[in-house]
């Protein structure tokens, strides 16, 4: 089975902290994604990556950055956490264009 | 205009009825289309995908795609209470060799006994 693992299920951070969310997939997928999910807004794409060291902005990249140094790992970085970044963060991966996305279990981040 | 639009619902149907979920998308270059189901507190899971115009059936589920109208739908026959969940429409806007997967806000379905 494909496995996408996010480093934390729940996280509480203070305003202004630098926050790292980690995602690891074990199926050699080329594409990886970071979404945030808020009530009534669905999944909104923050960043995605189609290859090692390659990244593209999604629809809401402001306040975030990403890193993909190895194919299996895609990190989301909140440079200076703010309360409006309190959300559920979901990582996903896909093997190639047009195929199923596999999701991690999600990280519920609270910024206080 | 959002890239992928869905009616947020809730859509309430009686057990055994047909539930019809709709989705429109804005980019004519979109190539593949997906329906995911998400139970409360869980991650999305794939129900069906469709690439070509027309209908695709899988058990109680039928996906319909009309590229000219930029419209995707999901029909659930013989709805069960266990089908109660949020259904997310997703569109692959891949181009230039990469894969950009965009989701709608989801439609909440409630199937009552």
B102, A90: Cβ pair inside 8 Å? no
Spell out which residues of chain B touch residue A42, defining contact as CB-CB under 8 Å.
6, 88, 103-106
Burial class (CB in 10 A: 0-12, 13-18, 19+), A64: buried
Confidence band (pLDDT; 50, 70, 90) for B98?
A: low
Confidence band (pLDDT; 50, 70, 90) for B40?
A: very high
Q: Compare B16 and A99 and report the one with higher pLDDT.
A: B16
Specify which residues A36 forms β-bridges with.
A44, A89
Q: Compare A16 and B31 and report the one with higher pLDDT.
A: A16
Local structure of B104: helix, strand or coil: coil
Report chain B residues touching chain A, CB-CB < 8 A: 3, 6, 8, 31-32, 34, 36, 43-46, 49, 51, 88, 90, 92, 94, 97-106
Neighbouring CB atoms inside 10 A of B57's CB total: 12
Spell out which residues of chain B touch residue A38, defining contact as CB-CB under 8 Å.
none
A101, B100: Cβ pair inside 8 Å? no
B99, A56: Cβ pair inside 8 Å? no
At B83, phi and psi to the nearest 5? -80, -10
Residue of chain B whose alpha carbon sits nearest to that of A91: B43
Task: List the structure tokens of A112.
Answer: 């206080």
Residue A2 confidence (pLDDT): 66
**Which contiguous run of DSSP H or E holds residue B33?**
strand B32-38
Residue A65 confidence (pLDDT): 97
A41, B100: Cβ pair inside 8 Å? no
pLDDT, tens only, B4-26: 999 888 999 999 999 999 999 99
pLDDT, tens only, A26-69: 989 989 999 999 988 889 999 999 889 889 999 999 999 999 99
pLDDT, tens only, B53-80: 999 999 999 999 999 999 999 999 999 9
């Amino acid at each position: 089975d494909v496995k996408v693992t996010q480093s934390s299920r729940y996280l509480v951070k203070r305003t202004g902290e630098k926050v790292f969310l980690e995602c690891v997939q074990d199926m050699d997928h080329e594409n990886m994604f970071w979404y945030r999910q808020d009530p009534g807004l669905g999944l909104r794409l923050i960043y995605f990556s189609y290859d090692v060291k390659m990244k593209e902005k999604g629809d809401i990249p402001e306040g975030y950055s990403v890193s993909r140094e190895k194919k299996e790992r895609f990190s989301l970085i909140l440079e200076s956490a703010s309360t409006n970044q309190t959300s559920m963060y979901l990582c996903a991966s896909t093997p190639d264009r047009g195929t199923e996305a596999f999701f991690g279990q999600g990280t519920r981040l609270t910024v206080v | 205009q959002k890239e992928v639009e869905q009616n947020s619902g809730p859509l309430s149907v009686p057990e055994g009825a047909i539930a019809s979920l709709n989705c429109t998308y804005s980019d004519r270059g979109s190539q593949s289309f997906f329906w995911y189901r998400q139970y409360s507190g869980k991650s999305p899971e794939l129900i069906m995908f469709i690439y070509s115009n027309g209908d695709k059936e899988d058990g109680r589920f039928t996906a319909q795609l009309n590229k000219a109208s930029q419209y995707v739908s999901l029909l659930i026959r013989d709805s069960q209470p266990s089908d109660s969940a949020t259904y997310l429409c997703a569109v692959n806007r891949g181009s230039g060799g990469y894969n950009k997967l965009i989701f709608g806000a989801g439609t909440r379905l409630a199937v009552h006994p």
